[in-house]
Structure 1
Amino acid sequence: MTASSTSALVRGPSTATERALAPDLARGFMLLLIALANTPWYLYGQASGMTSAHPIDGSVVDRIVQFVLITAVDARIYPLFAFLFGYGIVQLYRRQIEAGATEQAVRAILRRRHWWMIVFGAVHAALLWFGDIVGAYGLVGLIMVAIFLRRMDRTLIVWAAVLTGILTVITLLGLVALPFIPADPAFEQGGGFVDPAALSGEEDYLASVLLRLATWPLIAIGQGIIGLVVPTMILLAFWAARRQILEDPRAHARLLRRTAVIGVAVGVVGGLPNALTHVGVFELGPHQSWIFTLTQSVTGIFGGLGYVAVFTLLADRLQRAGAMSGPVVAIKAVGKRSLSNYLGQSVIFAPLLSAWGIGLGADLNSAGVAAIAVAGWTVLAAVTYLYERRGWRGPAEGLLRRLAYR
C-alpha cells in the first residue's frame, strides 16, 4: 500500500459532537489539581521535606494546605491523567478503524503522535518545567501500543494485576523494614532526589535549562516506566475504553459507583501516612519517611481510578440535569484543550515563581502558592472558554494533530 493510499483511509481528529463529556470534564478538573501539585516545586526559599516539595514549616493554614494536597492530590493526579491518556488511545484507534483506516495506518498515526509528544515534553522541560509528563506519556504510549493495544481483555487485566501486585509487595516489604532502617546523617542532610532550591532557585536562565534537561529524562523514565503506575493505568484504560465506560456511564453505573467509593477511600487512606509524617504527627527520620512514598504511589492507582469514576458520574448527572452552564462549559473546554492548558500553566508559573524570572517562589508559602495555582488555572479557563465560544482548537492540540495526521 502506498503512502497516498494509506493516508486516504485515515480520517481526521474527533469532531465536537463525537466527544463525550466525562473525559473532558475530568481533564479540566485534573488540570486544576495538576497546578496545585506542581506549583510547590517552585518554592525554593525555604527547606522542604525529603519526600515532597512542600515546605517543612508554615502557618496553620499552610499546614492544612500541605496535608490536603499530600493526602488527596500528590501521586493521585498523574495516574488519572495516565488513564485518560490510555483511554484516548483506544478512542482514536476505534474511530479510525470504524472509518475504514487500516491497522497499519492507525498505528502509524499513534507512533507519530507519541514521538512528537516526546519532543514536546523535551522542549517543555528545557524551556520551563523539569517535571513535564507529556514526554513521559509519549514514551509509555509507544511501548504500550506496540505490546498491548490488540491484546485480549484477560491479558490486560492480568498484567495490570501483576504490576499492581509488584508495587504492593515492594510497599509491604518497605513497611516491614521501616522500624529497622538505621539513621544516616549524610542521607538526611543531602536533600531529596529533586532539590527545588537547585532548579527553581537558579537565577541564570541558561544554567536552569541545563539543570532541567539533566533532570527531566530521569523523571520521565522513572515516573513513566519504572514506577509502574502509568503502565498499569493505561492497561486498565485500554480495557475500560473497549467497553466505552466513560461514554455510557448509565450502563456501567454500578461499577462506577463502586470504583468511586473504594478508589477515593483507598487513595485518601493511603496518603495519610505521608501527610501525617510531613506535618509532624508521626515522628520519623527522613530516611524512614521515604517508605511512605511507596504507600503514596501504590494507592495512587486506586485514587486515580476513583477520581475518574467520580468525574464520570458527575458528568452524567450534569448532562441529565441539563446543567451545561458557563462554568461547566469552561471546564469542559479546558479538558478539550488539556495539552495547551498544561503547557500554559508553565508559561504562567515558571517566569512568575522561578528565580530567573520574577522570583516569587522565594517568598511564598504553601497557601500563597496554592492561591496562585488556582488563579492561574482560572485565567487559562477564561481564555479557553473564549476559544470554545469561537470554535478554535487549542494551539498545542492543533500543532500535534497536524504533525500526527500529516
Structure 2
Amino acid sequence: MSTITLIRGPVQAAERSPAPDLARGFMLLLIAIANTTYYLWGSEMNPGTSHPRDGSAVDKVADFLSITFVDMRTYPMFAFLFGYGMMQLYNRQVASGTPDAIARSLLQRRNGLLLAFGFVHGALLWMGDVLGAYGLAGLLMVWLFFQVKDRTLIVWTWVLGAPAALFVVLATVGGWFIARLPADDPTAREMAAAFMPSDGESVSTTSYLASIGWRLAYWTLGTVGQGVLTLVVPVMLLLAFWAGRRRILENPGEHLPLLRRVAVVGLTLGWLGPLPAALDHVGAIDVPDHAAWVFLPVQILTGFFGGLGYVALFGLIGHRVAQRRSGPPSGNLFLTDGPFTGAIQAVGKRSLTSYLLQSVLCAPVLAAWGLGLGQYLSSWSMLLYAVVVWGLTVAFAVWQERTGRRGPAEVLLRRLVYGRPTAPR
C-alpha cells in the first residue's frame, strides 16, 4: 500500500457534531429492523413487501410499521451521512494544510476499502450489505463531482433524479395494466420475475459453503443496483457534498428553516409513499401478486425523500442537544449530553462496528446454516429480536466509550486509510 503524507489524522472527539452521530446511532435500530425480516426463512413472503404473508394481528401491526417507517428509508439516509462524512473529512484535511489532491486520494482509498469491507461482509455473513454500494458510489461520485461547483451539484441532482421519478410513474401505470392480466400471462410472469428476484437461499440453505455463493451473487447485484443503477445513493451523495460544504449538520442552528422544511416535506412523502404497499400487505386493499412489484419503485423513490427527512429531523434534534450543553464538548458524552443521548452518540461514533456486529448477532443465530432460529420466529418476535440486537450494540458502544476505546472496525479502517500515526494527535 502506498503511503499518503498527511498533516493531520482522523477526527478527534471534540470536533464531532452531535447530529450525525445521533442519526447514525438511532438509525442503526431501523437497519436492524429492516434486515432481520429477511431471516424469516420459514415463512412464505409477500412478493411486494418481503414480509411474511401470514401472521397474527400483532404480526400485521409490526409489518405495517416496518413497511411505512423503515423499509428502504434507512440506506438513503446513511448514504447522505456517508457523503456528508466524506466532505467533513476533506474539509478537515484541507483546512490543516493537506494538499487537495492528497485529501481526495485519501477519500478514494477509504471508498475502495469500504468496497472491500462490503465484499468480505457479504461473503461471510450478510447478502444485503450496503458498504459495497456506498464504496462503489463514493469512488464514482468523488471522481466525477467532488470538485465541481455548487450549481453543478444541484443541476446533476435534477438530471439524475428526474429519470428515477419518471421510471416510478411509468412503472405505476404499467403495474395498473398488468394487474388486469391473468397471473399466468407471460408478460405478467416476466415482469414479476424481473422486479422480485429471490434472495432467500443464502439464509434458508443448511450449507454454509453454499450460502457464500448465494450471498456473493446477491451482494454483487445489490452493490451495483443500490450503488449506481437505482440512482438513490448517487443523488444522495451529490446533496451531501452540497450540504457538507455549508456545514449544515455541524451548524444546524444557522439552517433551521431549511431543516424544518426538509423534515416536514421529506417525512410526509417518505411515510405516505409506502402506505399502498402496507395496506395491501395487511389486506386492506387487494393487489394481485404478479403486479405487487409496482410498489418497489414507489418505495425506492419515496425512500429517498424519507431518508432526507430523517437527516433533517436529526439535524434539528442535534441542534437542541447542542443548545443544552453548558460548555464545549467534554471527553465524557454521558456528562455532556446525558446518559440516553450519550449512548446513542456512542453507537453513532462506532457505526461501522455496530453495523457489522448486527450481522454477527443475527446470521449465525437466525440462518438455516447456523442455529436456524429464523424458522420459528414471526414478524413481531423478529422485531423484538432486532431491538435486542440493537440494544446489545448500544451496550457494547457505551462500554467502549466509557473505557476510551474506539470501535474495532473503525480502528482497522483508520489504520488502513491513514497508516500508523507518526506523531501525537
TM range (shorter): over 0.9
Q: Which residue does 1:320 correspond to in 2? A: 323
Q: Which residue does 1:86 correspond to in 2? A: 83
Work out whether 1:161 is the aligned partner of 2:161. Answer: no
Q: For 1:4-403, what aligned pairs fall within 5 Å after superposition?
A: 7=5, 9-181=6-178, 182-185=181-184, 187=189, 193-322=196-325, 324-403=337-416
Displacement of 1:352 in angstroms is 1.0
Structure 2 Cα separation of the partners of residues 320 and 297 of structure 1: 35
Structure 1 Cα separation of the partners of residues 238 and 290 of structure 2: 33
Structure 2 Cα separation of the partners of residues 397 and 183 of structure 1: 52
Displacement of 1:395 in angstroms is 0.5
Displacement of 1:135 in angstroms is 1.1
Percentage of matched positions with identical amino acids = 50
Compared CA separation, residues 190 and 44, structure 1 to 2 (3 A)? farther
Deviations 1:323-347 (A, max 9, x none): 7111111110100110000000000
Structure 2 Cα separation of the partners of residues 52 and 403 of structure 1: 39
Contact 1:70 1:271 in 2 (8 A): yes
Deviations 1:9-58 (A, max 9, x none): 44100000001000000000110000000000011101001133210111
Deviations 1:81-135 (A, max 9, x none): 0000000010011100011111221122112111111111011011100000011
The one-letter code sitting in structure 2 at the alignment partner of 1:245 is I
Contact 2:42 2:374 in 1 (8 A): yes
Displacement of 1:196 in angstroms is 5.0
Contact 1:330 1:381 in 2 (8 A): yes
Unaligned regions of 5+ residues in structure 2, if any? 326-335, 420-425
Structure 1 Cα separation of the partners of residues 168 and 251 of structure 2: 35
Compared CA separation, residues 178 and 190, structure 1 to 2 (3 A)? closer
Compared CA separation, residues 183 and 164, structure 1 to 2 (3 A)? farther
Displacement of 1:391 in angstroms is 1.6
Unaligned regions of 5+ residues in structure 1, if any? none
Bigger mean CA offset, 289-298 vs 133-142: 289-298
Structure 2 Cα separation of the partners of residues 267 and 156 of structure 1: 23
Displacement of 1:192 in angstroms is 7.0
Structure 2 Cα separation of the partners of residues 161 and 210 of structure 1: 38
RMSD: 1.7
The one-letter code sitting in structure 1 at the alignment partner of 2:228 is I
Deviations 1:58-88 (A, max 9, x none): 1111101111111111111100000000000
Contact 2:196 2:293 in 1 (8 A): no
Displacement of 1:191 in angstroms is 10
Deviations 1:146-193 (A, max 9, x none): 011111111111111222211111111122223211234373996974
Q: Which residue does 2:333 correspond to in 1? A: none
Structure 2 Cα separation of the partners of residues 197 and 398 of structure 1: 33
Deviations 1:236-266 (A, max 9, x none): 0001111000011111001111111111001
Structure 1 Cα separation of the partners of residues 352 and 379 of structure 2: 26
Structure 2 Cα separation of the partners of residues 240 and 123 of structure 1: 31
The one-letter code sitting in structure 2 at the alignment partner of 1:234 is L
The one-letter code sitting in structure 2 at the alignment partner of 1:373 is A
Structure 2 Cα separation of the partners of residues 194 and 175 of structure 1: 19
Structure 1 Cα separation of the partners of residues 220 and 363 of structure 2: 19
Contact 1:53 1:196 in 2 (8 A): no
Stretches (4+) displaced over 6 A: 188-192
Displacement of 1:286 in angstroms is 1.9
Structure 2 Cα separation of the partners of residues 110 and 318 of structure 1: 29
